[in-house]
A and B are shown apart, each in its own frame.
Chain A
Amino acid sequence: MQSQLPLYPEQASNFAPSVDALMVYITAVCLFFAVAITTAIVIFFFKFHRKKPGDIGVAIHEDPRLEAAWLIVPAILALTMFAGGAVIYVDYRRAPMDTLDIYVIGKQWMWKAQQPTGLKEINELHVPVGRNVKLILASEDVIHDFSVPAFRVKMDVVPGHYNTMWFRPTKAGRYHFFCSQYCGTNHALMGGWVTVMEPSDYAAWLSGSSDANANPIVAGEKLFAEKACNTCHLSDGKGRAPSLNGVYGATVLLADGSTVTADDAYIRESVLTPNAKIVAGYQSLMPTFQGQMTEEQILSLTAYVKSLQSQPVPATGAGIAPATGKK
């Protein structure tokens, strides 16, 4: 624990030191101006206090040079603040490649997290120290927001969209996470703890409590058959729909000539509104599954598609854009 009245939360992620440094910088600049102006006001207030009831002030109308200086100097300082913030934000919005992906689903008023092994947690999140962690966020109902003050990160969880956030925990410990977007009656109770563990402890924790039935790949594969996806998406590429082998992470060529990277959001969209992006060479035959699958089921399907990443890609019927050098 920190002192009785801390001014900032614990620094427990890669973002925390730079956010705090920026905070100190902006505070310093603002404090300088606030003190300067306040001092000027106080000095003028007493120094130029009215001596006799009938006194009037000295008429001074304006000084364009002073105004110009006052426009330019704050503008430059504002630009430095903007730049400092932009660097952190761009870094935050672009996750690195080697992330540990954890799915997080918000619903009134609880958080469900799902580790890569399929292990599920409620209002708890375990992550290893030193690893880049990416959270893929989905909502079952209204807009929520996943916020971890000790990591200095948060991101809205919007129904109908996938948002992602990432961070690299730097210090083992237990930290609060909150729902930061008002979501109804028990908004304030929709929080929990992030437990940052040493990698070896994390591995032990994962294996110690792993549950084979909860494996999302297995669940996804079952769903893939139940919803009859496998009648068209044949793995050899000879079906009415492209093979999904190796598609995850690859670039897909679309009918309109454009390309798209097959990430979680793309797979989700293809399940819910298949006609939005048609793979080149295919018809729009697939029914939409909007309103017929829970976010959890979509996640399982995504996990299954992801597991096909290493499967052999058929020569034709894969839908993957050629000549990008990808697997």
Chain B
Amino acid sequence: MHRTGELYGQFQTMEQQRETASLGMWIFLVTEVLFFGGMFMTYTLNRSTYPDVFGEASKSIDLTLGAINTVVLIGSSLTMAMSVWASQVGKKQLVTIFLIATLVLGSVFLGIKGVEYHQKFVEHHVPGLSFSFEPGASIATNAHAQLFFSLYFAMTGLHALHMIIGAGLLLWLIKQSMRGRFTPQYNTPVELVGLYWHFVDIVWIFLFPLLYLIDRH
């Protein structure tokens, strides 16, 4: 199927193509909600079974780093939104600048996440690798704390994977944007990556209180 300009062969009009792409992204995000949903369900059940140990384990995570990361990520959503706006009004240079800013903030987030993971590693809080919650903890407490950290790593790890994929998409967008490909007539890729990026951001907005804040009054 051949492409005419930005119009792919299976479509009749640009309008149809845009609508299709955007619907596709929304439906993809629906599947993502359910993908994370299974994990949230597992988390909810286990936390309601072991509220005390989950609270204790949660306290051992670095709240400051988590909070900084939350701010960084919200900031990146802002710059992402700005680049979508810039592409719609045709400010080609601003698109690139905001995309780069988003990428930088995303990388900062991942960097801080790495520091957090390293802390957990040093503290023997990585499940499966000589895990030990705190000295003197009973076998059961250890097991339940390990459940918390398993979920912590699974959930934040999956989130980080989404961030990495998002960063890859941003890199590709930046390359295209530098060539001046995005115009007020054609900016679907920026818009769609924007949707994805906001979604990943929203997941974090749920993860942060569930993992960091549950037992801090």
Contact = CB atoms under 8 A, between A and B. Distances in A.
A264 to B, nearest CB: 19
Q: On chain B, which size bracket covers the interface?
A: under 10
A247 B143 CA distance: 30
18 contacts: A272-B140, A273-B50, A273-B140, A275-B52, A276-B49, A287-B138, A288-B138, A288-B139, A288-B140, A288-B141, A289-B140, A290-B139, A290-B140, A290-B143, A291-B139, A291-B140, A291-B143, A292-B139
A93 to B, nearest CB: 22
Across the A-B interface, the 6 shortest Cβ-Cβ residue pairs: A288-B140, A290-B140, A291-B139, A288-B138, A287-B138, A275-B52
Interface in A251-309: 272-273, 275-276, 287-292
Q: On chain A, which size bracket covers the interface?
A: 10 to 19
Nearest to B141: A288
Contacts of B138: 287-288
Nearest to B53: A275
Contacts of B141: 288
Contacts of A272: 140
Interface of B: 49-50, 52, 138-141, 143
A276 B143 CA distance: 15
A275 B54 CA distance: 13
Nearest to A275: B52
Given A272-B140, A291-B143, 14 more contacts: A273-B140, A275-B52, A276-B49, A287-B138, A288-B138, A288-B139, A288-B140, A288-B141, A289-B140, A290-B139, A290-B140, A290-B143, A291-B139, A291-B140
A289 B139 CA distance: 8
A272 B144 CA distance: 12
Nearest to B139: A291
B205 to A, nearest CB: 31
A289 B49 CA distance: 16
A272 B138 CA distance: 12
A288 B139 CA distance: 8
Contacts of A292: 139
Q: Which of B50, B138, B140, B141 has the most CB of A within 10 A?
A: B140
Contacts of A287: 138
A273 B140 CA distance: 8
A102 to B, nearest CB: 29
A99 B143 CA distance: 37
Q: Which of A289, A290, A292 has the most CB of B within 10 A?
A: A290
Nearest to A274: B140
A290 B141 CA distance: 9
B86 to A, nearest CB: 54
B144 to A, nearest CB: 9
Contacts of B50: 273
B51 to A, nearest CB: 9
